[in-house]
Structure 1
Amino acid sequence: MSTEPPTLLRCAGRTVARYTTRPDLAPDHAPRPYLHPVTTLAGRVVTEALPDDHPHHLGAGIAVADVAGRNFWGGRTFVRDRGSVELDDHGVQRHDGFKLCDPDGFVEELSWTAGGERLLREHRTVAATALTDSAWALDLTFSLTNTAGRDLSLGSPATNGRPGAAYGGFFWRAPKEATTPTVFGPGGGGGASGPAAAGERGSGADGEAAVHGFAADWVALAGEGWTLVFAGATAQTRSDPWFVRAAEYPGVGSSLAHAGRLAVPAGETFVRRVVTVVADGGLDRSGAAALVRKAVAS
C-alpha cells in the first residue's frame, strides 16, 4: 500500500511503529502519511488501518474533515441539510521530505493540496521515548501554515450540522476487539458537566459518554492487554475537546473545530502537540496520570 518502504520507529531496542509516507490509496481515502502498525514494547498491535467499518481510518496521524470545504479525512462528506454524501472533494497530504530521520524519530515537511492548490504547509515532528520496561511514548507535534494566499477555516461534521461529530486533527484508530475497550479520564479534572466550551477542562469520569466532547488533560483507552493514554502537551492542545469512540469502534482524536470553525488567516500558523503513552497491560487512573507526567516532561 505504499510507493516506498515504510520508515521504522524504534524504542528500547525494538521497532514500535512503521510510518508510511506515500500510501497508494484511492482519492476517496484522502491519502496521507500514517503510523501503522504501532505496537507496545511486548509487541501488541494498538493501531488499525483500512478497517472494514471505516476504510479511510489510517492508524495514527493527522486528518481533518473540512479544510475550506475540502475533505482531508476520507470517506463521505457531511453536508448540512443533506447528510453524509459521496463527493469528489478529497485532498491529499503529500510527503515532501524529511528534514531529519533518526531511529527514534523524524521531522517531516508536508503539503496539504486539493484541486491542484496547496492550502496548507505542515511541519510534523514525531519521537519515541521509553518510559518504563512496559511503556513508551509517541510524541507528535504538527504545525499547519495557511499557504493559500487567502483566509481559510477548518470545520468538522459537527460545525456542518452533525451533533457529536467534531472530529478533526490528531486521530488514533485502535484495533476492534471482541470486548469494547474501557475509557476513562483524569479524576477531579474540573467538574465539567456538559460538552466543553473553549477553555473548559476535564470530566473526571469513566465511560465514552463522560469523556467524549470534553477538554481534559488526558484520556485513556484500554483494550485487551494494552492501554493508550492521550495527553495534550500544550495549553492550546488541552483546550481542544476530545473525540472518543469505544462502542461503535475504538478511536480517540482531537477536535480542532468543536463549537465553531477554526479560522486560519492567510500566512498564519497554528500548532498542536499530543503525547500518547503506549503501555502493555491495564493502567488505573493513578498509573495513567503518572506516565502522562513523565511522558510530557521528557
Structure 2
Amino acid sequence: MADRFILADDPIALPKGAWAKTERRTLRRGSQPVFSLTQGRHRPYLFPVYTPLGFAVTSECPADHPHHNSFWIASDHVDCWMPAAAGRKEQYTYNFYVDETFQGRAPGRILQTNASGEETPGGGYRITQTMEWRGPVEWAALEGRLAAREQRLLDLKTIEGAYVIDVESRLSAAEWDLSLGPTRHAYFNLRVAESIAVTSGGRVRDDRGHSGGEAVSGSGARWVHYNGPVGGGHWAGLALFPDPRDHRDPYWFVSDWGVVTVGPFRLEKRDIRQGETMALRYRVILHDGDLAADAIAAHYASYLASLS
C-alpha cells in the first residue's frame, strides 16, 4: 500500500573494519520520510522531522546550543541516592541535558537499547523504544552508573494536513532511588527549524493569545504553537500539548530563537523510588500551512476528548 508506514535502517557505507557509534532509522509513509530515530553520541532523538508535504520543521545540533537535538527528552539535575555505610544514602548528581559538565553536574548519556515498530488500527504506527540513562565513566563505574531505565512510546497517525505524534515517556528508577529537578531544563523539548524561529520571520503563541518567547514562557499556557516560512512561499509549523493529567501547571521555556521546553518540575523535584515509574505524556502536531489559533485550539480540544 502506498500509504503504509515502514521503519527501516539508514545504511552507511564505511571502510572495512570501521563502525559508527551512532545510528539512524527512518520511518517512511510509502516513499515519503516522516521522521528518523537518531541515536546521537549522547542521546536518542527524532531528526529529521517532516510535515506531510515534506518540509523539515526542526533543527539538529544548532551552533548556539549543540545539545538541542530537534525533538528530544532530557533532564538536568538528576540525582541518584546511593546506599552508603551505616544505612546512609549519598547523593550522586548528574546532568542528562547538556553533553558536557553543566552547573557542576557531570554529563550522562541516554542510550537506546532496542526499538521496534508496528502498525496500529486505523492506519497508524507505534514505535517502542527502550533506553538506559547512564552516568559518566567514573571510578568503580566504567560503563557509567545506570541511573534510570526508560520506555518511550511514539504513536503516529495522520490527519488532514498534519501528522500527530503522541509521546509517552515511562522513566523508572534502577537500583536506587532517583530525583529529577527542580529545573527548567526538562523534560520534553523541541528546537524548531531556523526559518520558523521568530528571529527569522516565524511566530510563536499560546492558548492565551500571548505572542513571543518571553510572553509565553513561565506557567499558565496549555499549549504552544510555532510556525513560519519554510521556503517557496509555504508555511509550516508544530504545536506542543502537554498532557494535563501529568502537567497540572506546566512550566514553559520558549525563546524567539527557536526552543520550546515544557516540564512539570520547575519549582519542586520529582522523586522516583525503586520499583516506581514516572509517566509523562505529550502530543505534537506537525502541520503544513499557516494555521490560525482557532485551528490549534480545535486540535487541542480533540486531544482532550481523546483522554476522557
TM-score by length of 1: 0.78
Following superposition, the deviation at residue 175 of structure 1 comes to: 1.4
RMSD, aligned CA: 2.4
**Alignment-derived partner of residue 229 in structure 1:** 239
Say yes or no: does 1:48 pair with 2:37. Answer: no
Paired with 1:35 and 1:296, the residues of 2 have a C-alpha distance of 25
**Change over 3 Å in CA distance of 1:67–1:284 after alignment to 2:** same
Indicate conservation of the 8 Å contact 2:207/2:293, yes or no. yes
- Secondary structure of 1:119's match? strand
Indicate conservation of the 8 Å contact 1:9/1:128, yes or no. no
Say yes or no: does 1:93 pair with 2:104. Answer: no
**Alignment-derived partner of residue 217 in structure 1:** 222
Following superposition, the deviation at residue 185 of structure 1 comes to: 1.1
Indicate conservation of the 8 Å contact 1:180/1:223, yes or no. yes
Q: What do the CA deviations read for 1:163-202 (whole angstroms, capped 9, x no partner)? A: xxx1211111111236253111114xxxxxxxxxxxxxxx
Indicate conservation of the 8 Å contact 1:232/1:238, yes or no. no
Indicate conservation of the 8 Å contact 2:242/2:283, yes or no. yes
Q: How does 1:148-159 map to 2 (within 5 A)?
A: 148-149=175-176, 151-155=177-181, 159=183
Instruction: Give the aligned residue type for 1:242.
Output: W
**Which 5+ residue runs of structure 1 have no aligned equivalent?**
26-30, 80-84, 160-165, 188-203
Paired with 2:271 and 2:168, the residues of 1 have a C-alpha distance of 19
Instruction: Give the aligned residue type for 2:210.
Output: A
Indicate conservation of the 8 Å contact 1:131/1:295, yes or no. no
Indicate conservation of the 8 Å contact 1:216/1:238, yes or no. no
- Choose 169-178 or 117-126, whichever is displaced more: 169-178
Say yes or no: does 1:169 pair with 2:174. Answer: no
**Alignment-derived partner of residue 114 in structure 1:** 135
Paired with 1:113 and 1:128, the residues of 2 have a C-alpha distance of 28
Following superposition, the deviation at residue 64 of structure 1 comes to: 0.9
Select 1:279's aligned residue among 272, 280, 287. Answer: 287
Instruction: Give the aligned residue type for 1:139.
Output: D
Instruction: Give the aligned residue type for 1:74.
Output: V
Following superposition, the deviation at residue 5 of structure 1 comes to: 4.9
Select 1:62's aligned residue among 73, 92, 95. Answer: 73
**Alignment-derived partner of residue 15 in structure 1:** 33
Following superposition, the deviation at residue 215 of structure 1 comes to: 3.9
Q: What do the CA deviations read for 1:49-102 (whole angstroms, capped 9, x no partner)? A: 1111111111101111221121111245553xxxxx6x6x11111111125455
Following superposition, the deviation at residue 147 of structure 1 comes to: 1.0
Indicate conservation of the 8 Å contact 1:237/1:274, yes or no. no
**Which 5+ residue runs of structure 2 have no aligned equivalent?**
1-11, 13-19, 80-92, 137-143, 230-234
Paired with 1:231 and 1:13, the residues of 2 have a C-alpha distance of 29
Instruction: Tell me which protein shows more strand as a share of its residues.
Output: 2
Q: What do the CA deviations read for 1:264-297 (whole angstroms, capped 9, x no partner)? A: 2233211111111111121111011112333565
Identity %: 28
Indicate conservation of the 8 Å contact 1:131/1:291, yes or no. no
Say yes or no: does 1:266 pair with 2:274. Answer: yes
**Change over 3 Å in CA distance of 1:283–1:33 after alignment to 2:** same
TM-score by length of 2: 0.75
**Change over 3 Å in CA distance of 1:215–1:75 after alignment to 2:** farther
Instruction: Give the aligned residue type for 1:212.
Output: S
Indicate conservation of the 8 Å contact 2:237/2:287, yes or no. yes
- Secondary structure of 2:167's match? strand
Say yes or no: does 1:36 pair with 2:44. Answer: no
- Choose 1-10 or 139-148, whichever is displaced more: 1-10
